[in-house]
Amino acid sequence: MFFSTIRFIIGLGNPGIEYEGTRHNIGFEVVDCLTEKLDIKLIPGKGDYLIGWKRINQQHVGIVKPLTFMNNSGVAVRDIAESYSTSTSGLLVVVDDFNLPLGTLRLRHKGNDGGHNGLYSLIYHLHSNEFPRLRCGIAGVTMPTNKKDMAGYVLSTFDKQENEIADRMIHRASDALFVSITEGLDAAINKYNTKNV
Protein backbone atom coordinates (compact mmCIF):
# COMPACT_ATOMS: atom_id res chain seq x y z
CA MET A 1 0.00 0.00 0.00
CA PHE A 2 1.30 3.45 -0.95
CA PHE A 3 1.64 6.01 1.85
CA SER A 4 1.56 9.58 0.60
CA THR A 5 3.55 12.47 2.05
CA ILE A 6 0.66 14.79 1.10
CA ARG A 7 -1.37 15.75 4.16
CA PHE A 8 -3.40 18.63 2.72
CA ILE A 9 -4.80 19.55 -0.67
CA ILE A 10 -5.41 23.30 -0.84
CA GLY A 11 -7.35 25.01 -3.61
CA LEU A 12 -6.71 28.75 -3.94
CA GLY A 13 -9.43 31.21 -4.90
CA ASN A 14 -11.63 34.07 -3.76
CA PRO A 15 -14.66 33.43 -1.53
CA GLY A 16 -18.01 34.94 -2.49
CA ILE A 17 -20.65 34.38 -5.12
CA GLU A 18 -19.30 37.23 -7.28
CA TYR A 19 -16.12 35.21 -7.89
CA GLU A 20 -17.76 31.89 -8.73
CA GLY A 21 -16.87 30.63 -12.19
CA THR A 22 -14.00 33.08 -12.71
CA ARG A 23 -10.65 31.98 -14.11
CA HIS A 24 -8.89 32.89 -10.86
CA ASN A 25 -11.12 30.50 -8.89
CA ILE A 26 -10.17 27.35 -10.76
CA GLY A 27 -8.37 26.10 -7.62
CA PHE A 28 -11.63 26.25 -5.67
CA GLU A 29 -13.48 24.47 -8.48
CA VAL A 30 -10.96 21.63 -8.63
CA VAL A 31 -11.24 21.13 -4.86
CA ASP A 32 -15.05 21.24 -5.11
CA CYS A 33 -14.90 18.56 -7.80
CA LEU A 34 -12.65 16.38 -5.64
CA THR A 35 -14.84 16.76 -2.55
CA GLU A 36 -17.87 15.74 -4.60
CA LYS A 37 -16.10 12.65 -5.96
CA LEU A 38 -14.90 11.63 -2.49
CA ASP A 39 -18.14 12.62 -0.70
CA ILE A 40 -16.42 15.12 1.59
CA LYS A 41 -18.19 18.04 3.26
CA LEU A 42 -16.13 21.17 3.94
CA ILE A 43 -16.76 22.90 7.28
CA PRO A 44 -15.20 25.94 8.99
CA GLY A 45 -11.71 25.13 10.31
CA LYS A 46 -9.70 26.53 13.21
CA GLY A 47 -8.76 29.59 11.14
CA ASP A 48 -9.92 31.42 8.01
CA TYR A 49 -10.53 28.34 5.89
CA LEU A 50 -12.95 25.54 5.14
CA ILE A 51 -11.72 21.99 5.65
CA GLY A 52 -12.89 18.43 5.16
CA TRP A 53 -11.20 15.10 5.86
CA LYS A 54 -10.94 11.78 4.05
CA ARG A 55 -9.17 8.60 5.09
CA ILE A 56 -7.20 7.30 2.09
CA ASN A 57 -4.79 4.35 2.35
CA GLN A 58 -5.02 4.52 6.15
CA GLN A 59 -4.05 8.20 6.18
CA HIS A 60 -6.18 11.26 6.88
CA VAL A 61 -5.98 13.87 4.14
CA GLY A 62 -7.36 17.38 4.62
CA ILE A 63 -9.08 19.19 1.74
CA VAL A 64 -8.92 22.97 2.20
CA LYS A 65 -10.30 26.22 0.76
CA PRO A 66 -8.73 29.35 2.33
CA LEU A 67 -11.17 32.22 2.96
CA THR A 68 -8.55 34.98 3.14
CA PHE A 69 -8.89 35.88 -0.57
CA MET A 70 -6.29 34.97 -3.15
CA ASN A 71 -3.64 37.57 -2.35
CA ASN A 72 -3.59 36.61 1.34
CA SER A 73 -3.84 32.84 0.90
CA GLY A 74 -0.53 32.36 2.68
CA VAL A 75 -1.99 33.51 6.00
CA ALA A 76 -4.51 30.65 6.11
CA VAL A 77 -2.07 28.08 4.73
CA ARG A 78 0.57 29.04 7.30
CA ASP A 79 -2.06 28.56 10.04
CA ILE A 80 -2.82 25.08 8.71
CA ALA A 81 0.86 24.10 8.51
CA GLU A 82 1.47 25.33 12.07
CA SER A 83 -1.75 23.96 13.60
CA TYR A 84 -1.20 20.48 12.18
CA SER A 85 2.63 20.47 12.37
CA THR A 86 2.91 19.86 8.64
CA SER A 87 6.00 20.48 6.53
CA THR A 88 5.60 22.49 3.34
CA SER A 89 6.19 19.35 1.27
CA GLY A 90 2.96 17.97 2.72
CA LEU A 91 0.87 20.80 1.21
CA LEU A 92 -0.36 20.24 -2.35
CA VAL A 93 -1.67 23.56 -3.71
CA VAL A 94 -4.02 24.00 -6.70
CA VAL A 95 -3.92 27.31 -8.61
CA ASP A 96 -4.84 28.94 -11.89
CA ASP A 97 -2.03 29.91 -14.27
CA PHE A 98 -2.42 32.54 -17.01
CA ASN A 99 0.93 31.49 -18.48
CA LEU A 100 -0.48 28.10 -19.48
CA PRO A 101 -3.04 27.51 -22.26
CA LEU A 102 -6.53 26.63 -21.08
CA GLY A 103 -6.74 22.89 -20.47
CA THR A 104 -3.08 22.38 -19.59
CA LEU A 105 -2.08 20.88 -16.23
CA ARG A 106 1.39 21.23 -14.70
CA LEU A 107 2.19 19.41 -11.47
CA ARG A 108 5.52 20.20 -9.82
CA HIS A 109 7.27 19.33 -6.54
CA LYS A 110 8.28 22.98 -5.97
CA GLY A 111 8.96 26.24 -7.82
CA ASN A 112 8.66 30.02 -7.82
CA ASP A 113 5.45 32.05 -7.84
CA GLY A 114 5.42 32.56 -11.63
CA GLY A 115 3.77 35.96 -11.15
CA HIS A 116 0.84 34.44 -9.23
CA ASN A 117 -0.12 36.53 -6.18
CA GLY A 118 -1.58 33.56 -4.31
CA LEU A 119 1.62 31.55 -4.68
CA TYR A 120 3.64 34.64 -3.77
CA SER A 121 1.64 34.92 -0.52
CA LEU A 122 2.27 31.25 0.30
CA ILE A 123 5.99 31.50 -0.35
CA TYR A 124 6.17 34.68 1.77
CA HIS A 125 4.25 33.30 4.76
CA LEU A 126 5.69 29.77 4.65
CA HIS A 127 9.24 31.09 4.07
CA SER A 128 9.63 28.37 1.46
CA ASN A 129 8.79 27.58 -2.16
CA GLU A 130 9.24 23.86 -1.54
CA PHE A 131 5.63 22.77 -1.68
CA PRO A 132 4.02 20.84 -4.54
CA ARG A 133 1.58 22.69 -6.74
CA LEU A 134 -0.85 21.80 -9.52
CA ARG A 135 -1.16 24.69 -11.98
CA CYS A 136 -4.25 24.77 -14.18
CA GLY A 137 -3.98 26.74 -17.42
CA ILE A 138 -6.57 29.49 -17.91
CA ALA A 139 -5.12 31.39 -20.89
CA GLY A 140 -7.47 31.89 -23.81
CA VAL A 141 -6.53 32.45 -27.44
CA THR A 142 -6.21 36.22 -26.96
CA MET A 143 -4.60 37.58 -23.81
CA PRO A 144 -4.18 41.07 -22.31
CA THR A 145 -0.79 42.65 -22.83
CA ASN A 146 -0.63 44.85 -19.72
CA LYS A 147 -0.83 44.12 -16.00
CA LYS A 148 -3.97 46.19 -15.37
CA ASP A 149 -5.97 44.35 -18.03
CA MET A 150 -4.60 41.02 -16.79
CA ALA A 151 -6.08 41.65 -13.33
CA GLY A 152 -9.50 41.99 -14.94
CA TYR A 153 -8.89 38.99 -17.19
CA VAL A 154 -8.25 36.52 -14.37
CA LEU A 155 -11.46 37.70 -12.69
CA SER A 156 -13.47 37.13 -15.87
CA THR A 157 -15.52 34.03 -16.62
CA PHE A 158 -14.93 31.54 -19.41
CA ASP A 159 -16.95 31.82 -22.61
CA LYS A 160 -19.16 28.92 -23.74
CA GLN A 161 -16.49 27.16 -25.78
CA GLU A 162 -13.87 27.66 -23.06
CA ASN A 163 -16.27 26.37 -20.41
CA GLU A 164 -16.27 22.90 -21.96
CA ILE A 165 -12.47 22.76 -21.91
CA ALA A 166 -12.31 24.19 -18.38
CA ASP A 167 -14.81 21.62 -17.11
CA ARG A 168 -12.80 18.73 -18.53
CA MET A 169 -9.62 20.22 -17.07
CA ILE A 170 -11.24 20.54 -13.63
CA HIS A 171 -12.18 16.85 -13.65
CA ARG A 172 -8.70 15.81 -14.84
CA ALA A 173 -7.12 18.02 -12.19
CA SER A 174 -9.19 16.41 -9.43
CA ASP A 175 -8.14 12.99 -10.75
CA ALA A 176 -4.51 14.15 -10.70
CA LEU A 177 -4.88 15.12 -7.04
CA PHE A 178 -6.30 11.71 -6.17
CA VAL A 179 -3.45 9.93 -7.97
CA SER A 180 -0.97 12.19 -6.15
CA ILE A 181 -2.32 10.86 -2.85
CA THR A 182 -2.82 7.22 -3.81
CA GLU A 183 0.19 6.64 -6.08
CA GLY A 184 2.51 9.60 -5.50
CA LEU A 185 3.38 12.92 -7.11
CA ASP A 186 5.69 11.41 -9.71
CA ALA A 187 2.99 9.02 -10.91
CA ALA A 188 0.56 11.93 -11.24
CA ILE A 189 3.17 14.07 -13.01
CA ASN A 190 3.81 11.33 -15.57
CA LYS A 191 0.11 10.84 -16.21
CA TYR A 192 -1.33 14.37 -16.12
CA ASN A 193 1.35 16.85 -17.22
CA THR A 194 -0.17 17.09 -20.69
CA LYS A 195 -2.88 19.05 -22.47
CA ASN A 196 -5.16 16.04 -22.85
CA VAL A 197 -8.54 17.56 -22.11
Q: Where are the domains of the chain?
A: 8-192
pLDDT at residue 147, as a whole number: 79
pLDDT at residue 61, as a whole number: 97
Q: How far apart are the first and last CA of the chain?
A: 29
One-letter amino acid identity for 47? G
Give me the catalytic one of 24, 60, 116, 125.
24
The pLDDT of 80-98, averaged and rounded, is 97
Q: Is 24 marked active-site?
A: yes
Q: Which CATH number does the domain 8-192 belong to among 3.40.190.170, 3.40.50.1470, 2.70.180.20, 3.20.20.140? A: 3.40.50.1470
Q: Which residue has the higher pLDDT, 14 or 194?
A: 14
* Chain Cα centroid distance, residue 111: 14
pLDDT at 2 over 80: no
3-state secondary structure 145-193: CCHHHHHHHHCCECCHHHHHHHHHHHHHHHHHHHHHHHCCHHHHHHHHC
pLDDT at 197 over 70: no
One-letter amino acid identity for 144? P
